[in-house]
Chain A
Amino acid sequence: DTGVSQNPRHKITKRGQNVTFRCDPISEHNRLYWYRQTLGQGPEFLTYFQNEAQLEKSRLLSDRFSAERPKGSFSTLEIQRTEQGDSAMYLCASSSGTSGGMYTQYFGPGTRLTVL
């Protein structure tokens, strides 16, 4: 399968714990996005990488969230000191593109986080 993959698919954790999710984009894509989606809402932008550079980060993203893409390939999203409000589906997407403009994003299946 050459699509976007995410691991784990499901994560249940207790409030206050740290969690880390991984995203493997389509291999030739240089852009990678993280989103959060809750029931009845569209995906909410969290952050975006072009290669290894984190170019944008949502103002809504608290300091408990951090993302990395160390070698411009896979990415990790870490949430520290999880809160019940963090329960959501975390989606990763990748796209090609080296200049301005928006290119088609391909989404992974998501990681569903439940914070108890």
Chain B
Amino acid sequence: RKEVEQDPGPFNVPEGATVAFNCTYSNSASQSFFWYRQDCRKEPKLLMSVYSSGNEDGRFTAQLNRASQYISLLIRDSKLSDSATYLCVVNPVGAGGSYIPTFGRGTSLIVHP
């Protein structure tokens, strides 16, 4: 089993739709979680951190479920500009006690008119 798994998609949704992605992780000792957005042939950019209590930023909501070992990202009222690949990042502790960022392969979202 991969350390971090995401459904690659693509998720094809109309403008205005609500869409949700999940990301499962295998290391129960993981401490920090993030969602990044990556546009085609560009570098990843932070979308939001994921806190234990869940957090919301405008149309975006991130949640963490430690018991089932997954994080989720909900996008409401999808815009054309939301079309991108969404990467989750999980940080298990490495052998040296430091944190090793582990990315999922990303979920592709296509929002159409």
Q: Which residues of A contact B (CB under 8 A)?
A: 33, 35, 40-45, 48, 50, 55-56, 58, 91, 100-102, 104-110
Number of interface residues of B (CB under 8 A): 28
Q: Measured between alpha carbons, how far is A104 from B44 in the docked complex, in Å?
A: 11
Given A100-B97, A101-B31, is A43 in contact with B44 using a C-beta cutoff of 8 Å? yes
Contact flags B17-28 to A (C-beta < 8 A → 1, else 0): 000000000000
Q: Could you say which of B87, B96, B99, B104 contacts A102, with CB atoms under 8 Å apart?
A: B99
Given A104-B49, A110-B43, is A55 in contact with B98 using a C-beta cutoff of 8 Å? yes
Contact B98–A42 (Cβ < 8 Å) = no
Main secondary structure of the interface of A (DSSP, over half): loop
Can you list 27 A-B pairs, Cβ within 8 angstroms, ordered by A?
A33-B101, A35-B103, A40-B8, A41-B105, A42-B4, A42-B104, A42-B105, A43-B44, A45-B100, A45-B102, A50-B98, A56-B94, A56-B96, A56-B98, A56-B100, A91-B44, A100-B31, A100-B97, A100-B98, A102-B32, A102-B34, A102-B91, A102-B101, A104-B49, A107-B43, A108-B43, A109-B43
